[in-house]
Amino acid sequence: MTLEEYKTTYTPDDPVGWRCIDERLANVYGGQRPRHYAAPVHFIAGGPDPLDGTSYYDHAGASGHIHVVSYGLSGLYYDEGAVGGAYSGLGFELTFRVYPVPGESGDPTWVTGMMNNLARYLHRSGRWFEPNEFIPGNAPIRQGLDTDIIGLAVTEDPELGTIATPHGEVRFLQLVGLTTSEVQQLQADPTVGAVEDLLNAKRKVDPLLVTRL
């Protein structure tokens, strides 16, 4: 898309990148309306949360899980200077698939906090995530819950993949929970190949890599 095409297609009030994300999700979830949790004050306006929001979808497949998607690491809004770029913003958004904890109701909104913590790290460090990285930890990823999931691996979301937007490419990177033993295994061999091998082994059990706390 050229700049002139961009200017005739969109107005400065259009959330161009946001719409592209919504369109990709509509391809998977049809008319399902997600539960969206917006930041009270946008980061650009001085808010503490780098993400402008997160959407929660009910996955109706055999696994029956909740699928969380971030908004804010890619370019969400009208931006003539971003037209034709290779990557939109950091070039990705985060996703997370999780089974509800038995006996609990409501959305696992702690995931929004986890994603915002990772986004803060990315903003401070100037880094970005790529598939087959891992994020070690020494405490549960959900505070206050007795769970052995203490780390995260990064892979491309198997259903959302990568999309082209007028601002450049956006890849949906899924966070996958890792147990203590899996984190220790990867700390002993932190290579991309070792992470990929572990994720491939987990895919044989669950192709969508849903985290079970």
Determine, yes or no, domain membership for 210.
Answer: no
Identify the pLDDT of residue 12.
96
Structure pTM?
Answer: 0.94
What contacts 126, CB < 8 A, 6 or more positions away? none
The answer, yes or no, to whether residue 62 has pLDDT greater than 80, is no
Identify the pLDDT of residue 48.
81
Determine, yes or no, domain membership for 211.
Answer: no
The answer, yes or no, to whether residue 43 has pLDDT greater than 80, is no
Identify the pLDDT of residue 177.
98
Identify the pLDDT of residue 173.
98
* Mean predicted lDDT score pLDDT of the chain: 94
Mean pLDDT value across residues 35-45: 83
| Residue 143: CB atoms within 10 Å | 9
Contact 10, 20 (CB under 8 A): no
The answer, yes or no, to whether residue 70 has pLDDT greater than 90, is yes
Contact 132, 199 (CB under 8 A): yes
Determine, yes or no, domain membership for 212.
Answer: no
Span 78-89, pLDDT tens digits: 999 999 999 999
For 29, the domain range is 3-205
Determine, yes or no, domain membership for 213.
Answer: no
Identify the pLDDT of residue 103.
86
- Which carries the bigger pLDDT value, residue 189 or residue 102? 189
Determine, yes or no, domain membership for 155.
Answer: yes
High-pLDDT (> 70) share of the chain, %: 98
Rounded Cα distance, 43 and 89, in Å? 14
Determine, yes or no, domain membership for 45.
Answer: yes
Identify the pLDDT of residue 40.
82
Identify the pLDDT of residue 1.
87
Span 119-173, pLDDT tens digits: 999 989 989 999 999 999 889 999 989 999 999 999 999 999 999 999 999 999 9
The answer, yes or no, to whether residue 211 has pLDDT greater than 80, is yes
The answer, yes or no, to whether residue 113 has pLDDT greater than 80, is yes
Q: What is the DSSP string of 31-77?
A: TPPPEEEE-SS-GGGT-S-SSSEEEEEE--STT--EEEEEESSS--S
Determine, yes or no, domain membership for 195.
Answer: yes
Number of domains the chain is built from: 1
Determine, yes or no, domain membership for 17.
Answer: yes
